[in-house]
Structure 1
Amino acid sequence: MYLDPKEKAAIFAKHGKTVKDTGSAEGQIALFTYRIQYLTGHLKANHKDYNTERSLVKLVGKRRSLLDYLMKKDVLRYRAIVAELKLRK
């Protein structure tokens, strides 16, 4: 499995408020970013895997929706997560 529970807990501990805070927008964005990076690497090796490509596009859309929500609610939190995950140039 590509993501064991310890890694997942570490992602939520670093980006969420606590280890158990799996519902925060920052934690979910960080988890989606990790999954997007993993799937991107998989698609580089398996370019004909169209199901994974579709899953990747859906994940990017979910992350974009969460980022839009966060930008509307709190711009400072949005800027912090974008800078921390290096999502923009």
Structure 2
Amino acid sequence: MSLTTEKKASIFTEFAGRAENTGSIEGQIALLTERIGQISKHLQENKKDFSTHRGLMQLVGKRKSLLIYLQRHNLQGYRALIEKLGLRK
């Protein structure tokens, strides 16, 4: 269920530029998006797993706050990231 180190490194390489750049906002948002997708898939199979649902809501809130920060400080980067991740239509 958790992400492997290779998967995390590839996410940060793709979105942050380098695998070592784990503090970049774009990389963190991409990592949260990947985890949200995995947890959503788990919850489709396990509908009564309420503690995982709570954790999912916390991750969604964290991603939302990071997206708001990115939007305020780097609008072009924000638009490119949501386009690349397919978050909004």
C-alpha deviation, 1:80, in angstroms: 0.6
- 1:5-37 C-alpha deviation (Å, 9 max, x unpaired): 001100000001211000000000000000000
2:53 is matched with 53
1:70 is matched with 70
For 1:74 and 1:6, the matched residues in 2 are separated by: 28
> How many pairs were matched up?
89
- 1:23-68 C-alpha deviation (Å, 9 max, x unpaired): 0000000000000000000000000001100000000000000000
1:81 is matched with 81
1:8 is matched with 8
Q: Give 5+ residue unaligned stretches, structure 2.
A: none
TM-score computed with the length of structure 2 as normaliser: 0.97
TM-score computed with the length of structure 1 as normaliser: 0.97
